[in-house]
Structure 1
Amino acid sequence: MTSRRCSDAKVIAHAVRSHWAIENDVHWSLDVSFGEDQCRVRVNNAAQNFATLSSIAMNLLRQEKAAKDGLEIPRMLACANDRYLAQLLGWQAFQTI
């Protein structure tokens, strides 16, 4: 094996490990905050749809500047407080009916 091939292999190995580190971080966040591993959605495209909605919700929660202790507290707050949920969703004029 030449030194160039060895160098290329190291670069590729680093890229693969970096990719999986990101994937594992996202999966861990979804599992801890949303209980993704416990989800039993299995009908047609429901599992993929649910995963997409969970990812969107996670990204919205991560953009929240006040949430420094993780996603669980802001997620629960969004469930309990309509104004906070509207703020997360970027709704400017929110009025309760």
Structure 2
Amino acid sequence: MVPVFACTTEKLQGQTCHDVIAVTPLNPRRAIPFHTFYVALSRAVCLTGLALTEKITRQYIEYSTLAGAIVAEMQRLIDLVKLPPAISMNDRIAFRQWKATQHV
């Protein structure tokens, strides 16, 4: 058993977390607002500390429209992600595969 802590995104604002599990609804009609989802996702200090309960599908994204400023900021942040100099080839490949899926 591992102790966990749960809270709303309002309580998370301004916090930093090493591990984040973001609960994503199965039904896209019950999708949470993207600004709320962004707060949850952006609390993790690294990508490996982030987990989603469900895949974010195209249908889920299309249901929740993003403001242009949010799209631009998300793309800017994705473009800032860099690999550290000393990283294994497997991690480089995994990173390239992840980055190829990041289309805002």
TM-score scaled by structure 2?
A: 0.24
Q: Which has the higher contact order (CA 8 A, sep 6+)?
A: 2
Q: Flag the structure with higher strand content.
A: 2
